[in-house]
C-alpha cells in the first residue's frame, strides 16, 4: 500500500509537516505501547515541500504531524493506493459507495 501526498501549499518546518519514522513499515503491526520505543530508535523524516511537490511513502509507516507554529496553510491532496481487498468486514470507501448505488 502506497500513499501519495501532493503539496497544494508550501509546507515548512514551522507549519506542522508530516513526520515519518523511516522504515517503521517493516515492523508489521506495532502495539500502542511499543510505538514510542520504535520511534525513539528510528530516523525521523520531516516532510517539508513546495506547492506541486509529491511525497510517496508506505501507508503503514508510523507518522504524525505536530501543531503548526505559523498561520500558513499546509494543504495536501492525500491518495492511498492498494492492490488488495481489505479483510471482512472492512471495505474501501469507494467500494462501499459503489455497493450502495448498485443495490
* CATH code of the domain covering residue 30: 2.60.120.620
Domain tally for the chain?
Answer: 1
- Give the DSSP H or E segment for 57: strand 54-58
Q: Determine the Cα–Cα distance for residues 7 and 21; give it in Å rounded to an integer.
A: 20
For the segment 12-66, what is each residue's pLDDT rounded down to a tens digit?
Answer: 999 999 999 998 998 888 889 999 999 999 999 999 999 999 999 988 899 998 8
Side-chain-side CA neighbours of 75 within 13 Å: the count stands at 6
pTM of the model: 0.74
Q: Which structural domain range is residue 6 located in?
A: 2-101
Amino acid at each position: 500500500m502506497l500513499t501519495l501526498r501532493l503539496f497544494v501549499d508550501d509546507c515548512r518546518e514551522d507549519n506542522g509537516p508530516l513526520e515519518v519514522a523511516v522504515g517503521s513499515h517493516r515492523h508489521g503491526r506495532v502495539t500502542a505501547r511499543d510505538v514510542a520505543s520504535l520511534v525513539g530508535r528510528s530516523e525521523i523524516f520531516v516532510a517539508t515541500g513546495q506547492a506541486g511537490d509529491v511525497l510517496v511513502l508506505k501507508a503503514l509507516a508510523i507518522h504524525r504531524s505536530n501543531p503548526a507554529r505559523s498561520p500558513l496553510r499546509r494543504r495536501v491532496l492525500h491518495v492511498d493506493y492498494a492492490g488488495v481487498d481489505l479483510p471482512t468486514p472492512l471495505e474501501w470507501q469507494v467500494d462501499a459507495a459503489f455497493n450502495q448505488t448498485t443495490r
